[in-house]
Structure formats: C-alpha cells, structure tokens
Chain A
Amino acid sequence: MPQPPVVEGSGGLKGSPPVVEAVDVTKVYRLDGVEVRALDGVDLVVERGDSVAIMGPSGSGKSTLLGLLGGLDRPTSGTLRFDGRDVTGLSEDELAEVRNRVVGFVFQNFQLLARTPAVANVGLPLVYRGFGRAERRRLATAALAAVGLGHRLGHRPSQLSGGEQQRVAIARALVTEPAMLLADEPTGNLDSRSGEEVLELLARLHDERGVAVVVVTHDPGVAARFRRRVVLRDGRLAGDPDRDRESVT
C-alpha cells in the first residue's frame, strides 16, 4: 500500500502539494427520496501552514465541507486531493490512513472517550498506527504538555473543565503531527474565557509548528482571527470576502 507522505509540521514546504485541494466539489445527499445539494461546485485549497476560517449560516454546507476536507466523506463529483492524491483513487483503508496521518480533528463537543484517562484519549490515534503502549504514552504526554495539560495525564474527561477537555482533544489532534488541524466550532461549547484560551492555543500551534489550521465557525469574532475567511452560502463558496483584513494568526 502506498504510504502518504508524513508531513512533520514544518509548514510552507516549497514545491510540496497542498495539504488538501478541492476542485469543483459537489456533494448530494438523498433524504427521503429528495436530493439535497449540500455542496455545489466548491473550490478550496488549504496550503501547508495555511490559516482558514469557513463561515456560513447553518445549513449552508459547512459541516459537509469539513467532512470532505477531513477525509471523513467522499464528494459526489469533483476532485478532492490530499497531498496531491485523488481520494477517488484511495481505498477505504487508505482514506483511514489519510485521516490518521494528514488530518487532526477538533470537534465542537470534544468527542473524548468517557472513562478514559486524558493520556489514553490523546494516544488513541497512535493505536491505529500500531504504536506500543509505552511509545503512545510518551508521545501523548508530550502532546498534553504542549497544550498545557502536562499535570492532567490521568484525569478522565468528567474530571476536566470544558476548556481542558477541548485542549485534550487538541492534543489528540496534534499527537500524530498532522499537516492540518480541522476544527468544527471548537469554541461552540465553551465559555468565552475558555474559548479564548483554545483560540490562542490554535494560533500558537499554527505559529510554532507551522500546522495548517482550518476552522468552521459561524462566529465572525472567531473567524476574524484567521488569515483567510471563506463564506459558504447554499453550498456555494462566496470566496474570501475580506482577505486583506488584518488577522491575529
């Protein structure tokens, strides 16, 4: 099986293909016999070290686009490439490997395994790389330290605050050293202070590690902190409306 290149979060490698590239991508669902065109000819390129906010009202296709960019789903038509490789040519197993190596997911509701210590939650993606326990623990500990939770290794999600849980989830996304963090409303379930901390953490990881950060949000305040902003409306991308505006990241 061909191995997708492992991208150490060095960012902005000249000459290497974009992390993910969507060309004229369409996604059509069938709901009770009715066709729903969730995405309709979307073009989007996420370069190495990129910083993108995807905005749009609910029902605009944000989550669908995020699923495609993360390799969780395949487009109905159009071209989707990870590291230059077309997903239509990838088997389910290869797509699983793309999710493991290229993408790090951060979800609105954290998606941590209950009753499982933080260090095991963070080490989970490494399980599917065949890493042994000791190695997983070493890498997970380092990732937790990087998000400021080096002292919470054995804590279970129920013993952590929302902000801490989201930082555990970010550590989990980070532990595989992916080329891209994909965050779906990462502050949606957090109070403003925890949300602020999470956004600062994402910004710091982007700056320090050169990892591309793509965030889906309906919050303009969150979107404003990303270098590029695109707006989805009825499954169509309205482009970067204010690409020149100053951004925090």
Chain B
Amino acid sequence: MRFAEAVRVAWEALRANKLRSGLTMLGVVIGVASVVLLVSIGSGARNEVTSGVESLGSNILFVAPGNLSFGSAPAVSRLGLEDVRRIGDAIGDPRRVAATVASGEVARVGTRRATVNVQGTTDTVPLVFDRTVSRGAFFSAADVETRRRVAVLGADPADSLFPDRDPVGKSITVGGVRFRVVGVMGRVGTAFGVARDAELFIPVTAAQRLFGVSRVDGIAVKAPTTGQIGEEQAIIREVVTRAHPEQEYQVLTQQDILGVVGRILGILTLVLASIAGISLVVGGVGVMNIMLVSVSERTREIGLRKAVGARTRDVLRQFLLEAVALTVSGGVAGILVGIGAALLVGRLSPIPAAITGWSVALAFGVSVAVGVFFGVWPARKAARMQPIMALRYE
C-alpha cells in the first residue's frame, strides 16, 4: 500500500468515529498543551532573570557571603565598610566599589506613606550600576563619611509621596528619622519581580545606624572592561579571604549568577514539564485502549483486508498510522492550546511567557513517539490475526 493512501485510510477511520477520536485525543491535547505552556513560562522566567541581571549594569562583580547554589540558605554577611576600603585599595579605584545594606521600611511625608526598600549605599552607586539621577544629585562621599541624613528617592516613592511637588529639598521620615531629599532616581523598571523604582538610597553609614548594624550585605565592583573581570575577581577574592578567613565568600560575575539561576530555573522547568509529561503518558494509554477496542471491533475488516492481499506489514502500518494520526492531531491541537495559554499568561501575569521553538518541536516529536509507542501493541495484535479466524469473528 502506498504511504499517502495509508495516511488517508487512517484519517478516514478516525473521522468515522469523530466523538471517540476527539475524546481520545483530549488526553494528548492536555499533555502537550501543558508541556508547551510550562516550558514557555520557564523560558519566560529565564529571560526575565537574564534581562534583570543585565540591567544591573555591565562587568559587575558581586561579593556575597556563603556558597551560591541551589538549596543553600543565605548566610549572614560579616563584610564591613573596611572591606569596601580594602577592595578599593586593591583594585586601585575606590569609585568602582559600591556597598549596600538594605531593609524594607515605611517612608512618611506628612500623612502620606510609602513602603520603600531602603538601600544604605556608598556614593558610588550611579557609576557602578549605571543608574541615572533625574532630579537633584546623588549623595556624596562626604555625606557617607559624615553619616549625613540625606536621601535619594526612587521614582515610585517620589511620585507617591510628592505627587504635586518637587521632592528635592523636602524632608521625609524613615524609621522615625528625618532625612532630607537631595535627589530622585531615574526610572529603571522591575527586575526579579522586585520593583527597583521603589528604592530609597541613603548613605550606608546612616543606614547602619538606622538599622542598628555594622555590616554591609554585599559589595559590588565594576570592572573597567569585560577582559579585566577575571583579574579583578581574583584580586577581590584574595582580599576578602585574607580579611575574613573564618567565613566563605563568593565573588560572582553576572555570568555566574545567570548560570546558577538559569540552572535552578532549568531544573524547575524540567520538573514541571515532566509532571505535565505524565499526562501525556496517560493520554497515550487512552490511545492504546481505544486502538485495542478499534482492532477488535474491526476484526472482520482486518480479515477481509488480509484475504484480498494485505500483508502483515500493511495491516501493522494501517493501525500504527491510525494511532499516530490520533496523537499527532492531539499534539497539534495541544500545541495551539499551549501557545494560546502561554500568550494569555504573558498578558495576565508579570512573567512574559516565551514560546520556544524547541519546546513546540519537542511536543510534536513526543506526540508522534507516544502514538508509535502506544500504537505498536494494538497494531501488532491486528497484524498477527489469522485471516480465516478474523473473517469468522462475530
């Protein structure tokens, strides 16, 4: 039998039982759709993280305590401002080093309140993180040195606390302490689901007193060029390890962070997609079940086809193609449903789902494979029938 002919026969057999074929496909549709959707969400999350890490600036090295890996609890930093100085001295340019100690606080202006992410930082933040100041100016090294109570507002609290006034020069209260606003940051958007425009920058020294700590949470260093990242990474690691032999520190590039986060998201995506894959297996069992029913219902047809010259492989191919046609139709429908759902998720949630070609191709390939895998047994059963017995089957 010609292949095109066999495909046509398989298709007609499915059309002959539209409801049954449709219900059987449903399992495959759901399985494929969820695989496509979950992989899209995973890819979207990865893209989001990548753009978030990249938006922090370029050529940045992060010093953080502990061992950044999947499942490790965040360790408490023992870094201090003296480490910032040491690193600045070691790389020969203190302006390229920034430190931060952060806490969520409520900022008040009169009766207006805004929840802000208070970042106690050095004056080097605009340079290290490529941040712009839209009004006024960032605080100075002298402000940090003298622990002056000045603040630079993120774009969001600037809007909410001073809806109709220029905040520069006004006072705000954070944790019961008054700060004078000296500048407003340029808008940058969201990264890692954190609204970076809800930040409020104050000198790290003032922040340490406000929070009652003497540490800094992390130190960031901007390497002058991409080529010097490795060199500076080694220098910083050396400095930090000598200063804190008692604790493990990591000096991470943006690539390192992307690698770790990417692996975590990759594992999560794989786990979710595998769970979705289980429904594909269930769908496949449904296909096998229906094909077995179909084979026994059509025993006489099989007998007749053999009587008029169908070879074993003709019958095998016919029923195998029928199973594959079922799962491929279900797979195509599932891909469409999955893409539709991914677009919907992208529109309704903060994660822009990214439909990847490989996941669609994989879903299609898997639905073909499910058809073959679960179709082989019924098809072999059909192909092995003795024609004389099959013809007499009632």
Contact = CB atoms under 8 A, between A and B. Distances in A.
A70 B309 CA distance: 11
Nearest to B304: A111
Interface string A122-155: 0011011110110000000000000000000000
Contact of A99 (B2, B301, B306, B312): B306
Nearest to B300: A111
A132 B3 CA distance: 11
B307 A72 contact: yes
B1 A99 contact: no
A111 B314 CA distance: 19
Contact of B387 (A72, A93, A101, A128): A72
Nearest to A67: B388
A130 B1 contact: yes
B309 A100 contact: yes
B272 to A, nearest CB: 43
Given A73-B386, A115-B16, A128 B311 contact: yes
A92 interface: yes
Contacts of A63: 392
A127 B387 CA distance: 17
Interface in B294-310: 300-301, 303-310
B308 A97 contact: no
A68 B311 CA distance: 17
Contacts of A128: 1, 305, 308-311, 314
B164 interface: no
B311 A96 contact: yes
Question: Which range contains the number of B residues in contact with the other chain?
Answer: 20 to 34
Interface string A62-104: 0100010010110000000000000000001100110111000
Contacts of A113: 301, 304
A107 interface: yes
B246 interface: no
B1 A127 contact: yes
A100 B308 contact: yes
B388 A99 contact: no
Contacts of A105: 307-308
A225 interface: no
A40 B314 CA distance: 34
Contacts of B311: 92-93, 96-97, 128
A172 interface: yes
Nearest to B15: A115
Nearest to A101: B309
A124 B307 CA distance: 11
Contacts of B5: 127, 133
B372 to A, nearest CB: 22
Interface string B95-135: 00000000000000000000000000000000000000000
B304 A99 contact: no
- B contacts with A: majority SS: helix
B81 interface: no
A130 B312 CA distance: 15
A37 B106 CA distance: 98
Given A124-B305, A127-B1, A111 B391 contact: yes
Nearest to A100: B309
Contacts of B308: 99-100, 105, 124-125, 128, 172, 176
Interface string A105-118: 10100010101000
A107 B309 contact: no
A72 B16 contact: no
A25 to B, nearest CB: 15
A97 B309 contact: yes
B19 to A, nearest CB: 15
A141 to B, nearest CB: 18
Nearest to B394: A109
Nearest to B314: A128
Interface in B377-392: 386-388, 391-392
Contacts of B387: 72-73, 99
Interface in A25-56: none
Contacts of B388: 67, 72-73
Interface string B300-335: 110111111111111000000000000000000000
Contacts of A172: 308
A92 B300 contact: no
B389 to A, nearest CB: 9
Interface string B342-385: 00000000000000000000000000000000000000000000
A114 B391 CA distance: 15
A150 B391 CA distance: 28
11 contacts: A72-B387, A96-B311, A97-B309, A99-B306, A100-B309, A111-B307, A115-B16, A128-B310, A128-B314, A130-B2, A172-B308
Closest 4 pairs (CB-CB, A-B): A100-B309, A128-B309, A125-B308, A67-B388
Interface of B: 1-2, 5, 16, 300-301, 303-314, 386-388, 391-392
Given A72-B387, A128-B311, 13 more contacts: A72-B306, A93-B312, A96-B306, A99-B306, A100-B309, A105-B308, A111-B391, A124-B304, A124-B305, A125-B309, A128-B314, A129-B309, A176-B309
